[in-house]
Amino acid sequence: MTKVISIQKAAAINPLKSSQPLGAAFALLGIDAAMPLFHGSQGCTSFALVLFVRHFKETIPLQTTAMDEVATVLGGADNLEEAILNLKTRTKPKLIGVCTTALVETRGEDFSSDLANIKRKRAEELAGTEVILVQTPDFDGAIEEGWSKAVTALIGLVRHEAPKRIIPGRINILPGWHLTAADLELLRETAEAFGLDAIIMPDISGALDGTVPDRWIPTTYGGTSVDAIREMGRSAHTVAIGEHMRTPARRLREVAGVPFTLFETLTSLKSVDRFIALLAEISGRPVPARISRRRSQLQDALLDGHFHFGGKRIAIAAEPDHLFMLATFFSGLGADIAVAVTTTGQSPILEKVPATKVKVGDLMDFEDLAAGCDLLVTHSHGRQAAERLGIPLMRVGFPIFDRLGTQHKRTVLYEGTRDLIFEVANLFQANLHPATPEELNPFRNSGEHHDRDTQTAHH
Amino acid sequence: MLKAKIQDAFNEPGCDKNVAKDDAERKKGCAKRLTPGAAAGGCAFDGAKIVLQPITDVAHLIHAPLACEGNSWDNRGAGSSGSNLWRTSFTTDLTELDIVMGNGEKKLYKAIREIKDRFSPPAIFVYSTCVTALVGDDIEAVCRHAAQKFGLPVVPVNAPGFVGSKNLGNKLAGEALLDHVIGTVEPDDVSLTDINILGEFNLSGEFWMVKPLFERLGIRIRACIPGDARYLDVAAAHTARATMMECSTALINLARKMQERWGIPFFEGSFYGISDTSDALRQTARLLVGRGAALDLIERAEALIAEQEACAWAGINAYRPLLEGKRVLLNTGGVKSWSVVSALMEIGMEIVSTSVKKSTAEDKERIKQLLKDDNYMFDAMAPRDLYKMLADNKADIMLSGGRTQFIALKAKMPWLDINQERIFPYAGYDGMVELVKRIALSIHNPVWQQVREPAPWDDNGHLIGRATAPEVELAEDRDDHFLAHHRKKFVGADASDMAEC
């Protein structure tokens, strides 16, 4: 069992985390015609918005209740009501997702009864728009927790009155936040190869995979429709990806009786085999030849790629499920997870990470631990550490603001695992250091050369 | 305390717009109340950090739960010629437990000690935020105590997000410098030609395009605040002989109070545009001579201006054939430099529309004279309308900030960033040439023709037009030689070529 080490210092230096409400908004961006609304000061929204824009290079719908000092002292219910009504009139969304922030949570109000009041009082004005609440103070959790809470809140929209007819050819997929738009498209196509219709929720492909609609749209576009969410109770099965999807998957089972299978990762041959077998079982169809062909390509990639991975020391800093996915990927090819840093310490998946210990911390902890490693694996903020340490950086997760095309990269199933192998192997090949005579000298560790690294060694 | 500071910030005799208000109006402040659900822009903390963070060798410590710093660090492209400590992010990252147990002040004190031990910066700036202000953490007391204990300046910046807008935060940051930094160090190399520049952020290193102009005249920049600044230079800024203030809405209170307190005269200027840059050099020389610098400074400045202007105009005029008659949509929060606009017009570009959201009455009068049509001015345009204007091809390029970038791009319209996230330096004489070059490159990029070309099929996937024509031709003539010829003809052809076959 991997040891999880908690934070011991007072100053976080170069944060690894993005905030919990940002994670919740991220999930809401995967719902069609949705408008995430941060209940807090306008800065809370502005910072998250700018970060999303830098990552996705897209317009991001995200609004604020604009809490000022007076509203903070007197209570925010009026601001919340005004914001919801304004959004409804201006953008006509199908869904408004209220995400609380540290400011309003520190003050502490009864948000759910405030919201229930607003919905009752304004039922007429709000007709046709669902409003949900996600409690996501910034002083707790990170993206993963926010995403999980938002998806759980969205499950609240699922219609569950009996009797219901199950649609045998339909499944639900609850992807973790760390899957890309391309991953979701791939999951859908793979399900379709078995004749299965998949409701993916949330589905950030569509709005956030870089398309150009022919008119201006103020809300999200693409993504899971509210109607589809309502129908999720009639699906034959739910596939959840990542430990943080267990809570929403369980919730869906509780409210609508849909059984679920949880995949801790889909970035290894074995786990993808299990996923494909599940689809074959649910659909009652044989595995299509083209999927077998992809599997074979992955086998070949594993064979060709393993030369570059064996014995390499990898340093990873990522949210818990993402860390698990990446660490098992690297260790599955013979690399050594020398450093594992994560955002929060609660997830049970951390104990399964193939490393001796996982440090809950920031990118300065990461930088301190990663000296001497062969590869850094984290988001774009790792660039300063990579520069100082002189170690190549593989950019993963969120935010990635200094590279294009992140959303089109596949990271799951046979294709995604294959692509990742090539990406890493190419990074290593691009950063090869030819050996020097000193490094290869058989006497390099004996007395006469003991301080060979210093200038005085040659006197 | 903070209340008084905010009221003070709203009373600004240096600001024309402010002076024009009556007492009641002035008390309400510069910003209108934000509308919940329809607000955009940063908070006061954001504004304070923007102003102070580019001071390169200072450790900037944000006393807050994660989001305030975690979602926003290392996000601005200011250049540093020295320390990179400003790009290192420090926050107390308060947890629920810290807040419930009231551990905030203790954690802050410990964080200051950790930073001092590991990085030994010349100073630490501590920023309060909504949550820490709400729970009543006394950051001024903690900073005072830490400063005594550790023997280094620890500066409280009291601008929690919920007190107001980004602009108010800018001003509160200026107040923090006045209260705790400027005037605390006496340099031993004061000269009659030392100046300060306020409100210059050195984005993309653009201040380095104008700094050598001053140096060539023997003028030393004592402190450029905040771009590429060192703490000790800022602390000694009170010894300068004159101040140039850029971006007036941000730091006008600082310029005015430095004049009141230390008698440093200031002028408002800009490095954007040729005549503005010349004016900045001219005014600086005049102020310095007025305070005892050698008289020939004015002559030398004029000579430099004449030489540099000729050079810049030659550079810009090279782009006239590419830009003459092209239409510009300006969508920025009040055009700060009219000389940019007039330079664009000088080479034959047409300004079809401009936002006057943050412009003063005087600005609007200038726009009227320049554009000769009131209809060109708009206060704020809804994204939908802006999109329509661009999609309807009413302009050839939009110049704006990042916020409206995707409106232009999704309308398949050239766009150039002229705000803080831009990656090209546009200051000074060379900068104006660079700007004109970027506009030309943007408008004439072949990508616009490609993206505007519709797919050769309709919404139902049926082919439209004569896209199938080559096959018809091929079917009529079976001659092998002819076939080979035609196949060759379409090698490298794309969808747009096919439509014309």
For residue A343, which of A359, A327, A330, A332 has the smallest C-alpha distance?
A359
Q: pLDDT category, B359, cuts 50, 70, 90?
A: low
pLDDT above 50: residue B477: no
Mean pLDDT of chain B: 85
Q: What percent of chain B has pLDDT over 90?
A: 58
Considering only A395-404, B427-436, B464-473, which range has the smallest mean pLDDT?
B464-473
pLDDT digits (tens, 9 = 90+) for B378-421: 777 778 888 888 888 889 999 887 778 888 888 899 999 877 66
For residue A36, which of A22, A53, A50 has the smallest C-alpha distance?
A22
Burial B10-38 (b: 16+ CB within 10 A, else e): bebebbebbeebeeeebeebbeeebebbb
Class of domain B318-450: alpha beta
A327: in domain: yes
Compare CB distances from B92 to A11, A14, A51 and report the shortest one's residue.
Answer: A11
Q: What percent of chain A has pLDDT over 70?
A: 97
Number of residue pairs across A and B with CB atoms under 8 Å? 209
CB contact under 8 A, B66 and A59: no
Q: A334 to chain B, minimum CA–CA distance in Å?
A: 34
Termini Cα distance of chain B: 76
pLDDT above 70: residue A310: yes
| Entry pTM | 0.90
Best residue in B7, B32, B130 to probe A by mutation, most A CBs within 10 Å?
Answer: B130
Given CB atoms, is B87 within the 8 Å cutoff of chain A? yes
CB contact under 8 A, A79 and B384: no
Considering only A349-353, A431-435, B310-314, which range has the smallest mean pLDDT?
A431-435
Rounded to an integer, what distance in angstroms lies between the CA atom of residue A428 and that of residue A388? 18
Residue range A164-187: mean pLDDT, rounded: 95
Whether A407 and A302 map to the same domain: the answer is: yes
> CA B218: distance to chain centroid?
28
Beta pairing class for B90-91 and A12-13: antiparallel
Contacts of B193 (CB under 8 A, 6+ apart): B217, B218, B219, B220, B241, B288, B293, B297
Q: pLDDT category, B490, cuts 50, 70, 90?
A: very low
pLDDT above 70: residue B209: yes
Rounded to an integer, what distance in angstroms lies between the CA atom of residue B350 and that of residue B326? 6
Given CB atoms, is B45 within the 8 Å cutoff of chain A? yes
Best residue in A63, A106, A379 to probe B by mutation, most B CBs within 10 Å?
Answer: A106
Q: pLDDT category, B357, cuts 50, 70, 90?
A: low
Chain B residues closer than 8 Å to A12 by CB: 66, 70, 89-93
Beta pairing class for A260-263 and A357-360: unpaired
Residue range A44-68: mean pLDDT, rounded: 93
Q: Number of C-alpha atoms within 13 angstroms, CB side, residue A229?
A: 26
Q: pLDDT category, B30, cuts 50, 70, 90?
A: low
Cα angle at B284 between B281 and B289, to 5 degrees?
A: 125
pLDDT above 70: residue A20: yes
Whether A195 and A275 map to the same domain: the answer is: yes
Chain B residues closer than 8 Å to A64 by CB: 34, 36-37, 39
Q: Give start and end residues of each alpha helix (H) in A210-288.
A: 226-230, 246-256, 269-283
Whether A116 and A175 map to the same domain: the answer is: no
Q: pLDDT category, A330, cuts 50, 70, 90?
A: very high
pLDDT digits (tens, 9 = 90+) for A339-392: 999 999 999 999 999 999 999 999 999 999 999 999 999 999 999 999 999 999
Per-residue confidence (pLDDT) for residue B27, from 0 to 100:
58
Cα angle at B35 between B34 and B40, to 5 degrees?
A: 70
Residue range B222-237: mean pLDDT, rounded: 96
Q: Per-domain residue ranges for chain B? A: 40-180, 194-316, 318-450, 455-501
Mean pLDDT of chain A: 93
Could you tell me the CATH number of the domain that includes residue A60? 3.40.50.1980
* Residue whose token pair is 């035609």: B486
Whether A322 and A399 map to the same domain: the answer is: yes
Compare CB distances from B37 to A67, A71, A87 and report the shortest one's residue.
Answer: A87
**CATH of B194-316 among 3.40.50.720, 3.90.1170.50, 3.40.50.12280, 3.40.50.12380:** 3.40.50.12380
A69: in domain: yes
Best residue in A47, A214, A379 to probe B by mutation, most B CBs within 10 Å?
Answer: A47
Per-residue confidence (pLDDT) for residue B25, from 0 to 100:
62
Compare CB distances from A82 to B37, B70, B406 and report the shortest one's residue.
Answer: B37
Per-residue confidence (pLDDT) for residue B365, from 0 to 100:
73
CB contact under 8 A, B406 and A384: no
A 421-440 residues inside an 8 A Cβ radius of B: none
A342 with A360: CB under 8 angstroms? Answer: yes
Chain A residues closer than 8 Å to B162 by CB: 41, 67-69, 71-72, 103
Token pair, residue A155, equals 């499950």
Best residue in A42, A56, A73, A380 to probe B by mutation, most B CBs within 10 Å?
Answer: A42
Per-residue confidence (pLDDT) for residue A259, from 0 to 100:
96
Whether A421 and A298 map to the same domain: the answer is: yes
Specify the number of domains making up chain A: 3
A 40-79 residues inside an 8 A Cβ radius of B: 40-48, 50-51, 53-54, 57-59, 63-69, 71-72, 79
Per-residue confidence (pLDDT) for residue B495, from 0 to 100:
37
Q: pLDDT category, A263, cuts 50, 70, 90?
A: very high
Whether A237 and A199 map to the same domain: the answer is: yes
Q: Which of A288, A304, A325 is the last residue of a domain?
A: A288
A328 with A316: CB under 8 angstroms? Answer: no
Compare CB distances from B99 to A9, A65, A106 and report the shortest one's residue.
Answer: A106
A 91-130 residues inside an 8 A Cβ radius of B: 101-103, 106-107
CB contact under 8 A, B37 and A84: yes
Rounded to an integer, what distance in angstroms lies between the CA atom of residue B9 and that of residue A222? 45
- B42 to chain A: nearest residue by CA? A43
Chain A residues closer than 8 Å to B94 by CB: 102, 139
Whether A217 and A271 map to the same domain: the answer is: yes
Whether A98 and A29 map to the same domain: the answer is: yes
Q: pLDDT category, B458, cuts 50, 70, 90?
A: confident
A329: in domain: yes
pLDDT above 50: residue B486: no
pLDDT digits (tens, 9 = 90+) for A202-213: 999 877 877 778
CB contact under 8 A, B384 and A218: yes
Whether A119 and A213 map to the same domain: the answer is: no
DSSP A131: E
Q: B207 to chain A, minimum CA–CA distance in Å?
A: 24
Per-residue confidence (pLDDT) for residue B483, from 0 to 100:
43
Three-state DSSP state, B305: helix
A50: in domain: yes
pLDDT above 70: residue B493: no
Task: Provide the domain limits for residue A49.
Answer: 20-140
CB contact under 8 A, A51 and B35: no
Whether A308 and A420 map to the same domain: the answer is: yes
Compare CB distances from A13 to B89, B383, B406 and report the shortest one's residue.
Answer: B89
Per-residue confidence (pLDDT) for residue B61, from 0 to 100:
98
Burial class of A277 by CB neighbour count within 10 A (0 to 12, 13 to 18, 19+): exposed
pLDDT above 50: residue A442: yes
Per-residue confidence (pLDDT) for residue B421, from 0 to 100:
61
B426 with B206: CB under 8 angstroms? Answer: yes
For residue B290, which of B267, B324, B265 has the smallest C-alpha distance?
B265
Compare CB distances from A46 to B46, B66, B93 and report the shortest one's residue.
Answer: B46
Token pair, residue B214, equals 């001053």
Same fold, B40-180 and B318-450: yes
Q: A169 to chain B, minimum CA–CA distance in Å?
A: 26
A7: in domain: no
Strand order of the β-sheet with B194-200 is B220-226, B194-200, B242-245, B266-268
Cβ atoms < 10 Å from Cβ of A408: 14
Per-residue confidence (pLDDT) for residue B95, from 0 to 100:
94
Per-residue confidence (pLDDT) for residue B298, from 0 to 100:
97
Given CB atoms, is B384 within the 8 Å cutoff of chain A? yes
Rounded to an integer, what distance in angstroms lies between the CA atom of residue B145 and that of residue A332? 53
Whether A303 and A412 map to the same domain: the answer is: yes
Considering the segment(s) B40-180 as one domain, its CATH architecture is 3-Layer(aba) Sandwich (3.40)
Q: Which of A236, A262, A288 is the last residue of a domain?
A: A288
A334: in domain: yes
Compare CB distances from B65 to A45, A138, A212 and report the shortest one's residue.
Answer: A138
Strand order of the β-sheet with A260-263 is A197-200, A167-175, A235-241, A260-263
Q: What percent of chain B has pLDDT over 70?
A: 82
Chain A residues closer than 8 Å to B402 by CB: 53
A343: in domain: yes
Rounded to an integer, what distance in angstroms lies between the CA atom of residue B345 and that of residue B177? 40
pLDDT above 90: residue A399: yes
pLDDT above 50: residue B265: yes
Rounded to an integer, what distance in angstroms lies between the CA atom of residue A200 and that of residue B62? 39
Best residue in B1, B5, B66, B400 to probe A by mutation, most A CBs within 10 Å?
Answer: B66
Residue range A96-123: mean pLDDT, rounded: 95
- B89 to chain A: nearest residue by CA? A14
CB contact under 8 A, A51 and B384: no
Whether A129 and A210 map to the same domain: the answer is: no
Per-residue confidence (pLDDT) for residue B52, from 0 to 100:
96
Per-residue confidence (pLDDT) for residue A217, from 0 to 100:
82
Rounded to an integer, what distance in angstroms lies between the CA atom of residue A53 and that of residue A277? 38
Chain B residues closer than 8 Å to A131 by CB: none
Given CB atoms, is B407 within the 8 Å cutoff of chain A? yes
- B385 to chain A: nearest residue by CA? A216
The larger pLDDT score, comparing residue A84 to residue B484, is at: A84
